[in-house]
Chain A
Amino acid sequence: MNGRIFSVVGGMFLLTVCSKGSQSNVQAAPPSTQPTVSSDPAPAGAAGGTITGKVKFTGVAPKNPAIDMSEEAACKAKYPNPPTEENVVAGPANALANVFVYVKSGVPAGQTFPAPATPVVLDQNGCRYHPHVFGIMVGQGLEIQNSDPLLHNIKAIAKANRPFNVSQPSAGMKTTRTFAAPEVMVNLECNVHGWMHAYAGVRPDPFFAVSQQDGSFTITGLPPGTYTIEAWHEKFGTQTATVTIAGTETKPANFTFAAH
């Protein structure tokens, strides 16, 4: 059981390159403020099968809108170039990052998975959320911290979970919240800064991942079975795939979204 438990919450926010190569429409996070959430997926040597793959998109990715941070000098100062939103974060060769990939169905009913003791950290830094998309287990702590010396409010908009809205007017504030029910996705937003959005995939099991800069993702520790895998993207919607795991094998699952 222990071996199955792993964390797939990725800290993937040092994103710089656009798939088109010429024009960068993806903004680097401030170098001095690396998110502290980074945790590599658990060693794949654990028992069970693995699903791995890449997420891509076809067409031309919409340009991420520039963020006007003129009201917040402390945030603006953290960026050498004007920052943009992170609606579509693309990597080389049309790779698509920030896609939440999870096992939608197939995990035997009644099987329960304890939530990790370590919380997921959501950092507000430079008036953006780090990470922008993440997975979290039911009951696992979500530690929300403010690294900016100004007011953020964190509003969770949820249906299956209780929504909340708390303020953090000072740097160094921390608030820990948990989610009681699975929900893909819970939207997190700041109303002071209308461009700030983050998305949390709340799952009852640890079988989820977020695609990285190169579009790759890996879900490990799956018991034998046939699974429906869903990939969720904030702009491009969802896609599903069916994968059957027979043992400790590694099976591929690739997703291609259409940029529209």
Chain B
Amino acid sequence: MTAAWRFGGLAVGCAALLTAQPLNRLTAQDTTAGKIVYQKWCAGCHGDNGAGDGQGARHMIPPPRDFTGAVYQIRSTPSGQLPTDADLLRSIDEGLSGTAMPGWKSRLSDRQRRDVLAYIKTFSTFFTDTTQRPQPIAFGSAPGGGGSGAEALRVGRQFYDSIGCRKCHGDQGRGDGPSAPTLKDDAQHPIFAANLHEDWRFNGGGSVEDIYYRLRTGLDGTPMPSFSDLLDQKFLTDEQLWRVAQYVRSLSPKEAPVVRDVIHAPLTKRLPHAPDDSAWTSVDLYWFPLVGQIVRKERWFAPAVSGVWVKAVHTADSIALRVVWDDRSASPDTAWLGHVRRVWATFESDDSTREQPAAWPDQLVVQFPVSIPSGMERPYFLMGNPGAPVYQWRWSSAARTAAVAGLARGIDRFDPLSGAGPGAQAVYDHGQWRLVFTRALASADTASQLPFRTGRAIPVAFFASDGSNGEHGTRMAISTWYFLALDEPVPARVFISPVLAMMLTLGLGMLVVWRAQQKTSYRRQQ
């Protein structure tokens, strides 16, 4: 509804402009007006001179686009060609998912976006070179035959392997291929191969068509090449390339995940300790986004872990919490040291004594309050504070099958509780950690170790660090508070009471009817 109103407002605005000014003023791209828009909204990241060196630039990976080279990732044109105006407008309108670039469609008017587009082009002489004429590729459309069918996906997977996608994107598509640790963009900045299981974070969009277009055009300035030559030289048919796109799309969920605040942990007879126990398959799955820790120094704007997938169950006396997250490396892994160095070189630290790059382990922290709060108040989400600590389980890939329980009293203070660690089992599998924590519901020390109770909303938060991305200490990905609810066993009276009530009502009703009939027949007899 609001979108419709906004659109309506825009239409009215355009109509007003149309009537107020000559037509050519509306369609002409006004670089003077564009400059004003640019300096207000764009220069902070892209820089006054368009060189991608604004104030925010040193806190972003990938860094903002440098317009002076006129090299653009998201195009409809062959690799090496300039983008069309429509291509540039698409990036302005929609933004680039998975990056700091937001969409501007709802923030700037149609006129403003066109003006700023014209101004951005003035940063490179390539746009005034008349020999440079961008020619969009005639993409065609996806072949029929059911792109998500098993046979289509089998063909897609076959060519995913044969054209070498796995070299960077990995065997299972999580961006963990053998070449992944060495990747850098044209400016030597570190760059990740896309995790193909997160299509909502694809820079150019996550539809089958978007993926196919990127395969055809490549992402200029990045290691992702164009595969168009394969079609031209008949090494691959157009249909086969579409199948690759369909296969890649099939790796992500049908819909981008949405946050549901409360993790419901059903009651089970047996506690699944192993991450790949088949009992987990029937348990509801929850997703929580993680973002960089930018509250306390050293702030971290480039987290590698974008979210966690969580399941939980409990028995009469214990709880199991399963946390799954995608991570391109089983850290510590020295193959990624070069990547960490590139991150350091790209990314400005706000800490005067930055650590030297090292092969750090991966870490995952699950956080609860020390006791279940009775009201709405919860401890500080970012690892509590000295006066109000939080209860945490800390797992590290350095000791895969052990976790430490303890009290955090702020981001830089953690006091382990002796002999009270939860059980932990973890597997690393093709770019993904799967980890299960287990613990008794009751706790011996209720003052510091949360006793779990059924039927209560227990605050829970998550923290993840990818050691191979330079994440260590305060450099990590964090969530806010969510809730965990251990479902109570459903008592038998829940099922029996309604039946009893129904029978009683029916019985009473029948009694009333019987009595009424008795009276009627009595009167007739009279």
Contact = CB atoms under 8 A, between A and B. Distances in A.
Interface of A: 71, 150-151, 153-157, 159, 162-170, 173-175, 177, 180, 191-194
Interface in B417-439: none
Nearest to A168: B229
B182 A151 contact: no
B71 A167 contact: no
Interface centre among B80, B224, B226, B235 (most CB of A within 10 A): B80
Contacts of B186: 155, 157, 163
B329 interface: no
Contact of B79 (A151, A165, A168, A180): A165
A250 B207 CA distance: 64
Contacts, number: 86
Interface stretch (B146-154, B159-167, B289-297, B513-521): B159-167
A165 B81 CA distance: 11
Contacts of A170: 230, 235
B179 A164 contact: no
A192 B179 contact: yes
A164 B80 CA distance: 4
A58 to B, nearest CB: 29
A192 B223 CA distance: 8
12 contacts: A71-B179, A151-B163, A155-B186, A155-B225, A163-B69, A164-B80, A165-B218, A165-B223, A166-B226, A170-B235, A173-B230, A194-B182
Contacts of A177: 80
B162 A169 contact: yes
Contact of A173 (B80, B168, B233): B233
B167 A151 contact: yes
B179 A194 contact: yes
Given A153-B223, A192-B164, A167 B229 contact: yes
Interface string B171-200: 000000011001110100000000000000
B525 interface: no
Given A167-B164, A167-B230, 12 more contacts: A162-B80, A165-B219, A165-B220, A165-B224, A169-B230, A170-B235, A173-B235, A174-B233, A177-B80, A180-B131, A191-B184, A194-B183
A175 B229 contact: yes
Contacts of B98: none
A151 B235 CA distance: 13
Identify whether the interface residues of B are mostly helix, strand, loop, or mixed: loop
A164 B450 CA distance: 57
B410 interface: no
B119 interface: no
A87 to B, nearest CB: 16
B37 to A, nearest CB: 27
Interface in B186-241: 186, 218-230, 233, 235
A170 B233 CA distance: 11
A165 B226 contact: yes
Given A165-B218, A192-B167, A159 B69 contact: yes
B126 interface: yes
A152 to B, nearest CB: 9
A232 B368 CA distance: 61
Contacts of A164: 79-80, 220, 226
